[in-house]
Amino acid sequence: MTMIYLKKSTRSAETGQTDVRAAVETMLAEIERDGDSAAIRFARDLDKWQGDIIVTPEVRAEAAALVPEKLKADIRFAHRNIRRFAEAQRATITDCEIEILPGLMAGQRQIPVASAGCYVPGGRYSHIASAIMTITTAKVAGVPMITACSPPRPGSGIPPAILFAMDTCGADVILNLGGVQGVAAMANGLFGLPKADILVGPGNQYVAEAKRILYGQVGIDMFAGPTDSMVIADHTADPRLVAWDLVGQAEHGYNSPVWLVTTDRALAESVMALVPGMIAELPALNSASAAAAWADCAEVMLCSSAEEMAAVADDYAPEHLHVQAANLDWWLSRLTCYGSLFLGEETTVAYGDKCSGPNHVLPTSGAGRYTGGLSVHKFMKTVTWQRATRAASRELAIATARISRLEGMEGHARSADVRLEKFFPGEHFDLSATDAVG
């Protein structure tokens, strides 16, 4: 049986999105031209914020005092888990060196970027977890200067829980700035800060577009679209768990796709029957987002085998991929295209979104085919070095000169020639490109 749709998306996740590129380009140009004053103006006009841009130590302490102890404990729990996973990642990244041929040593070094900018979304949801994910990972990577920003609320600034998380995770500077102005301030080194070498963190379409335009001037974690999630389920899955996992991810936004891939028609029909009632149980704003996402972007696919389900998953390359099926070890070894993989009903994407350890800043819109999510690797540069003895330089120079002349790059050839002349005076070498290839 070929895969069939029991429910099909009526549009792609991108359909109907406002074209924001021109507006973002204008804002970025103004901020680059006018600097601090432009960022302050946008903060006033867009965020209705007229207070300090840089959060003072006193305000950090005041925010911490406002956070309930139970929430502080939860934030510390998440921070500890995310830090431990990042530390395990960091341990896999090592310097190395090798003697390629006698006298020729080469190697690599792992060097963290000098400055990172972490964007923490605000708006409808208070993204405490995004602060933990981005700042903690940069800190573990060894980034010496970490700036974080988030949209301030009129009259009060960044919510206390987000400020506490930023402070706990090690942000050196925190900015009361959201949107394009926050991203641009970090990229351009406004308010006396160093320019960020890399910008990371999720955000709305304006933030995503700003990062896209700035890419090249600075590094970025990835080009991010609407969040997406897929559940693979067989006859062993619990329809109620599957349905809530889909609904929970659909509440991200009206354009957040959720997909169910299954070999069990009865399970699929049960899930489709359960979802509308579950959506109705959510608070009004969450319910509206989830209802729109389910109606327009959700898909339910019926497959004939585990292998066919795996092939569908690899084709979609979902940001989040949750397997609720038998033989989890097989799925772990078989699946290849996803942002983060969740195995078994005992875990859920929500765990990964908030506190379990692996990063929640992940590739969307099929980008899991060619990249992974945010990790310590994103904050580090793998650079190489080499050193040669004069004896090793002899073979290298001869081959370099011949290859360079074959390519027509005489200047390269001469830089090899002069070393042979200096290191091996009086010797004759055949350095022409003749007979270099057949």
| pLDDT tens digits, one per residue of 14-43 | 544 557 899 999 999 999 999 999 999 999
Whether 193 maps to a domain, the answer reads yes
Average pLDDT rounded to a whole number, residues 300-317: 98
Whether 10 maps to a domain, the answer reads no
| pLDDT tens digits, one per residue of 87-117 | 999 999 999 999 999 999 999 999 999 999 9
Looking at the fold, whether 393 and 355 belong to one and the same domain comes out as: no
Whether 3 maps to a domain, the answer reads no
Whole-prediction pTM: 0.93
Looking at the fold, whether 216 and 240 belong to one and the same domain comes out as: no
Looking at the fold, whether 107 and 217 belong to one and the same domain comes out as: yes
Rounded CA separation 382/374 (Å): 16
Looking at the fold, whether 358 and 405 belong to one and the same domain comes out as: no
Query: For residue 224, what pLDDT is reported?
Result: 87
**Marked catalytic residue, from 319, 322, 345, 412:** 319
252 is annotated as an active-site residue: no
Query: For residue 12, what pLDDT is reported?
Result: 55
Q: How many CA atoms lie within 13 A of 61 on its CB side?
A: 3
Q: How far is C-alpha 99 from the geometric centre of its chain's CA atoms?
A: 35
**Marked catalytic residue, from 79, 127, 252, 320:** 320
| pLDDT tens digits, one per residue of 236-285 | 999 999 999 999 999 999 999 999 999 999 999 999 999 999 999 999 99
377 is annotated as an active-site residue: no
Cβ partners under 8 Å of residue 90, min gap 6 = 140, 141, 142, 376
Looking at the fold, whether 145 and 195 belong to one and the same domain comes out as: yes
Q: How far is C-alpha 56 from the geometric centre of its chain's CA atoms?
A: 28
User: Of 219, 213, 182, which is closest to residue 197 (Cα–Cα)?
Assistant: 219
Q: Given a cut of 50, is residue 436 above it in pLDDT?
A: no
Query: For residue 438, what pLDDT is reported?
Result: 38
User: Of 103, 97, 141, 114, which is closest to residue 384 (Cα–Cα)?
Assistant: 97
CATH of the domain at 202: 3.40.50.1980
- Domain boundaries, position 48: 21-221
Average pLDDT rounded to a whole number, residues 180-196: 98
Q: Given a cut of 70, is residue 1 above it in pLDDT?
A: no
Cβ partners under 8 Å of residue 208, min gap 6 = 223, 224, 225
Looking at the fold, whether 340 and 295 belong to one and the same domain comes out as: yes
| pLDDT tens digits, one per residue of 213-249 | 999 999 999 988 999 999 999 999 999 999 999 999 9
Where a domain ends, among 221, 251, 266?
Answer: 221
Looking at the fold, whether 360 and 398 belong to one and the same domain comes out as: no
Average pLDDT rounded to a whole number, residues 57-79: 97
Looking at the fold, whether 367 and 394 belong to one and the same domain comes out as: no
Looking at the fold, whether 363 and 337 belong to one and the same domain comes out as: yes
Q: For residue 215, what is the DSSP state?
A: B
Where a domain ends, among 221, 236, 265?
Answer: 221
Q: Given a cut of 90, is residue 145 above it in pLDDT?
A: yes
Instruction: State the Cα angle at 349 between 235 and 309, rounded to 5°.
Output: 40
Query: For residue 18, what pLDDT is reported?
Result: 58
| Tally of structural domains, the chain | 3
User: Of 143, 125, 126, which is closest to residue 134 (Cα–Cα)?
Assistant: 143
Cβ partners under 8 Å of residue 79, min gap 6 = 132, 136, 165, 168, 169
